[in-house]
Amino acid sequence: MAEIEARSLEIDKVVPDFILPAVGGRQVGPRDFKQRANLVIVYLDLDRCGRCADYLRELADNYHVYRELETDIIAVSPQPVADLQSRIGAMGLPFPVLSDEQGQMGQVYLGGQAGAMVGGIFVADRFGALRTQILARGENDLPNQQSILDWLNLIEMECPECDTADSSFGRL
CATH number of 20-158: 3.40.30.10
Please determine, for residue 161, whether its predicted confidence score (pLDDT) is greater than 90.
no
User: Looking at residue 47, what is its pLDDT?
Assistant: 86
What are the structural domain ranges in the chain? 20-158
Q: What is the mean pLDDT of residues 152-159?
A: 87
Q: Three-state SS for 157?
A: helix
* Percent of the chain scoring above 70 in pLDDT: 85
The length of the chain, given as a count of residues: 172
Poorest-confidence range of 17-21, 51-55, 115-119, 144-148?
Answer: 115-119
117 φ, ψ (degrees, to nearest 5): -115, 145
Alpha carbon 94 to chain centroid, angstroms: 13
Q: What is the mean pLDDT of residues 38-64?
A: 92
pLDDT range class, residue 3, cuts 50, 70, 90: very low
User: Looking at residue 148, what is its pLDDT?
Assistant: 94
Max distance between CA atoms of the chain, in angstroms, equals 43
Report the candidate in 111, 171, 116 with the shortest Cα–Cα distance to residue 144. 171
Kindly report the average pLDDT of the chain as a whole number. 85
Better-predicted residue by pLDDT, 111 or 80: 80
137 φ, ψ (degrees, to nearest 5): -75, -30
Give me the sign of the Cα torsion angle 90, 64, 73, 53: negative
Range list of H helices, 23-103: 52-61, 63-68, 81-88
Q: Structure pTM?
A: 0.87
User: Looking at residue 123, what is its pLDDT?
Assistant: 96
Q: What is the mean pLDDT of residues 41-60?
A: 91
Residue pair 122/43 in contact by the 8 Å Cβ criterion: yes
